[in-house]
Structure 1
Amino acid sequence: MDCKEVSSRASLWLDGKLAAGESDFLRHLDVCRACAREVGELQTILTVLRDGRGRNTVSAPEGFAMRVMDRLQAERVPRFGRLPLRSLALAASFLFLLGMNSILVGRYLGEGSQVTLPSGPAAGSDQIMEIPPASLPDADEQPQISKPEVFIVPVKPAPRAEAKPQSKPLVEQPADVKHPTPERQRQVMVASLAAVTIPGPEVFVQQRRVTEGVLLKVAVTRLDEASRRLVEVAGRQGLDPVAVSEMLAADGRLIKVYRYEVPYLLSSRFVTEALNLNLGRVLDERHVTEDVSSEYGQKLEQYRQLAAKALDARGAEAEELYGAMNGLIRQLAGMHSTSRDKKAVTFWLES
């Protein structure tokens, strides 16, 4: 099955109407990342129509998946100056973080040099504009001067008996006399990095971030054997646990918890293959949602506080603050990716 056939059958598969050729469809998604991403985006839209417990709160109209697929294909046409909305929040966050790092590096390397003025006289201060000889009035004509602009107006002298008739003046309109203006002096602006105002985290937490997941409680006979088989089936799909913890129940039973972050497209298959291993008796299976918007905002506020301290830090203290800030950047990027593209799968194994 090629990419064109997968694109045409994606809506049928998501609506549960693709009976023939489903194995070929899934096999193509395993090897083609572009088709997997396209189907994953459509599946994410359909997931929004479901609540945390998997019950349909909004029934999709007939052919909804097909119309959404047509819209997604139309959105793939490139347009100048267009930024995908699904990455707008992440782009704004990283622009803020990169800008703060630039300010801190400039502060750490030292203050910038001030701009010095040239020592010579201002250009054009000794130049005087000359009026062309053709525009000058006669010698016996007196100019009339008015403020604020200066005009040269020819005036007829008193008539004489022997005087010849006056010729027509060469300049009919009064001429503008422009005086040179001194050049503006440059003002030296010195910026103080300590006075830089850092925007608060509320700018970047307007979008709600919700992590969806599934929790499976399984009673196993041999905890070590069940843990080993679970890790093996996850490794075959390229998944590693993001967190592993052990605890003791009130009655002394040992409990081991594995948490995985799985792409939406592979989450159902991963859970199905893990349960097919017959790890034990399934005690509970529930779908959970976790709103991480508040935690995301707290980490941004912590980053802002560290950045404010790093403005005046030097030496080992500055290096320690920079390391903590880089760690927060990685955590924020991971939280954003998990809330948008992945699903948390937690296995609770108790002996």
Structure 2
Amino acid sequence: MSTTAAPPPVVDQAPQQDERVGRHARLASVLRRPEVGALVAAVVIFLYFSFTTKAFALPAGASTWIFFSSSFAIMSVAVALLMIGGEFDLSAGAMTGTTGLITGIMMSHYHVNVWVSIVVSLVAALAIGFLNGLLVMKTGLPSFIVTLGTFFVLRGVNLAVVKQIIHQVSVVDFQSAPGYNAGAQLFGSKMQIDLGFLPWVKIPNTGILTIYSATWWAIGVIVVATWVLQRTRPGNWIFAVGGAQQSARQVGVPVFRTKVGLFMTTAFAGWMVGMLKLFKTTTAQSTTGVGEEFIYIICAVVGGCLLTGGYGSAVGAFLGALIYGMVYQGIVYHNWDSDWQYAFLGVMLLAAVMVNNWIKARAERVR
């Protein structure tokens, strides 16, 4: 008689969890996000001004810092992409004034159709961005030096050439240009939302939230830039050329095309902000944008971009611009001296650099 051995008893074993998806790994992944520090700072600043001023959190008050932050967010995101790619553009501020002046002079002095004027200024901006990128890549000079030279050229042209053409340094009275209303609708329109039903809106005439077209443009720029960085091959190229340019070239990354494209992207953003300012204020000044290039860089750094390149995010740059916009208007609502904003910019820059370095070091230790 044959016997069959009984199968060994089945012992239930708890599934082993991969240590790579444990609590420490999740914490490290959060800390490695470039925008973490900026998000915390934005929440703190919003709460501070909301509780210490009467108008900041009201819809009418929020309208001002939302608009102010939007135009800075557009440029800060473009500058952040360039910084992730390992370069700087100090002509970004003057570019906004140059494109506005070109469009305004063509409409007011030469009575050119608004769309032709807009396209001409766009082509001029892209040409300048291409030239910046070409000089940086072909000469090997630091982008800081090349674009600083471009900044002074644009600033001189904005003053001297404009005075030569229209005998003054500001452009006005272009509302009669053919097609002006269509251009104003695209770049200078606004919508109003009545939020007077909110329980904290107790002051009359403060319940209207005004959203300008700059905000919608800013949202579009942030979404597109985030998608490019996170979901596309050019986004990988941007991180690669900023982190290790020589290694990126050796593995087939088109370094020249990527960096020139980033300079042209920054110029495109300068054109966009120039149009938004032009049609919002219905004037263009020769000094428009001068000095703002450093604010764009600060917003990008506050948002998590490293000055060494290869690290950062579009969302972080947006949060950096939001922080600056909230503080700028919060100072006004507090009736403080407006010159304090410059002291805040310096503190914000130093704090952001230290926080970014701490977050990266902490993430590496946790990992």
TM-score range, shorter chain: under 0.3
The normalised TM-score by structure 1 is 0.21
Task: Indicate the structure whose relative CO is greater, using CA pairs within 8 Å and at least 6 residues apart.
Answer: 2
The normalised TM-score by structure 2 is 0.20
Mark the structure with the bigger radius of gyration: 1
Give the structure with the higher percent helix.
Answer: 2
